[in-house]
Amino acid sequence: MHDRKNMTEGTLGDKIILYTIPLAITGILQQLFNAADIAVVGQYSGKDAMAAVGSNAPVIGLLVNLFVGISLGSNVIIAKAIGQKDEKQVSKTVHTSIIVALLGGLLLTILGEIYAPNVVRMLDVPEEVLPLAVKYLRIYLIGMPVILLYNFESAIFRSCGNTNMPLIALIISGVLNVIFNLTFVLGFGMDVDGVAIATVLANLISSVILFVLLLNTKLVIRVRFSELRIHGDVLLKVLKIGIPAGVQGMVFSFANIIVQSAVNSLGTTIMAASSAAYNLEIFSYYVMNSFGQACTTFVGQNYGAGKNDRCRKTLKLCLLQSAFSTAVLCGVILLFSRQLLGIFNSDPDVIAYGRIRLEYLFFAYIFSFAQETLSGYLRGFGVSFIPALCAIVGICGVRLTWIFTVFKAVPTFTTIMQVYPISLGLTAIVILIVTILVKPSKRFSISR
């Protein structure tokens, strides 16, 4: 068995850190694709173009999250099979995942192109922004097959402890994305279409790099063209874990679309401010999320090897490391928030409203890091429905109720922001209680 990191033996703390650092940087680089789009159009095409790109973030998240959740199912199944030293299961899951990514991406492209105008109109985007928002979304959706392929490829590498390869691919494509942005916008005089094309090309490059690496790796996750097919038994296992996570992501994104619609109703300045702040706060989220994914993979391998004591130790270490890392990053971003927001747009009102969003969201992250890590812990055992249900009710349900009641009565930006700490706090408490009651490391046995 050629796994890159032996997660089932030796110390855990250092291995978790070495696993999460490239993973967090990879997530940040992915977000920099969108941040680079917004920064370029904000500086050279104006607030309308900036708002058009930013307003599409929840829609794109809604379309992508179902299959990103399914890729998490692949991660869990492969990690468990590696722990059990079942190379045949690993190979079947890898090849099934590649085909699911491509077919799923093609389906999203077709559906997205048909319904893009209707979806953007649902966001209450101002009329002056609407044509630009639709144009950006249509071009972005063309790249869905390669976007999903990259996410599944990354999940495959992560399952065996290799978070460096996805990072290397993103560094290369991220640099090219910025170059493409400046070339299309400044060199060819394009606006949102230029940054959308740049993002699609960058995602194409990163997915091709990882695919070539999978074809040539000596690890057990190697891809062979002759074996690319969907294995029904494996697909069912992947979907059992992946669909709840994917539905959670979709519902989460739907709730964010409603929240974004409320933000849009307050005008272009607040839209631009919220977009700029989102592209800063998301960096901290990816740090938290990387520890959640690390918890899933480490628990998955150790669960497969029958080492439940290491599963519990993984949870404790991920919680401590996530809390410390998130606090440091949030503090740095808040300290330099004016300068960082000014990168996207120098309008004083945009910066002022952006700071409001950052303050509320970072307070909410006190609860969010626990929710991410505990969810990752449960998924490592293949328990996906419980964290999904907690998030759907606690986060999405609360946010939707808040927007349609409290915000309707007091329609201000501050009112919208208050829902984040409330919803995340409630969800973290519930999922902690559930984890204590379920006791997955004692309840679930190994099934080979």
* pLDDT at site 5: 60
* pLDDT at site 425: 93
* pLDDT at site 3: 42
Find out whether 54 and 215 touch, Cβ atoms under 8 Å. no
User: Which amino acid is residue 221, in one-letter code?
Assistant: I
pLDDT in tens, 212-267: 999 999 888 999 999 999 999 999 999 988 888 888 777 777 787 788 889 988 98
> Which residues have a Cβ under 8 Å from the Cβ of 258 and sit 6 or more positions away?
399, 400, 403
Assigned domain for 218 exists = yes
Find out whether 207 and 165 touch, Cβ atoms under 8 Å. no
> Which residues have a Cβ under 8 Å from the Cβ of 268 and sit 6 or more positions away?
47, 48, 51, 126, 128, 129
* pLDDT at site 1: 41
- Indicate the pTM of the whole model: 0.78
Assigned domain for 59 exists = yes
CA pair distance 78, 97, nearest whole angstrom: 10
Find out whether 363 and 421 touch, Cβ atoms under 8 Å. yes
Find out whether 428 and 371 touch, Cβ atoms under 8 Å. yes
Assigned domain for 50 exists = yes
CB half-sphere exposure, 328, CA atoms < 13 A: 7
> Which residues have a Cβ under 8 Å from the Cβ of 49 and sit 6 or more positions away?
41, 42, 132, 191, 192
Assigned domain for 51 exists = yes
The DSSP output letter for 407 is I
Domain range for 436 is: 13-441
36: closest CA among 267, 203, 153, 262? 203
Number of domains in the chain: 1
In the chain, which residues have pLDDT < 70? 1-5, 33-35, 441-448
CA pair distance 165, 388, nearest whole angstrom: 29
The DSSP output letter for 17 is H
Tokens matching residue 234: 């494996």
CA pair distance 177, 183, nearest whole angstrom: 10
* pLDDT at site 232: 93
pLDDT in tens, 3-17: 456 788 888 988 999
Assigned domain for 371 exists = yes
439: phi > 0 → left, psi -120 to 50 → alpha, else beta; which?
Answer: left
Assigned domain for 3 exists = no
Residue 1 CB neighbours (<10 A): 14
* pLDDT at site 34: 66
User: Which amino acid is residue 216, in one-letter code?
Assistant: N
Instruction: Sort 256 into a burial class: Cβ within 10 Å, 0-12 / 13-18 / 19+.
Output: buried
Find out whether 202 and 196 touch, Cβ atoms under 8 Å. no
Residue 143 CB neighbours (<10 A): 22
Residue with tokens 């009641």: 405
Assigned domain for 177 exists = yes
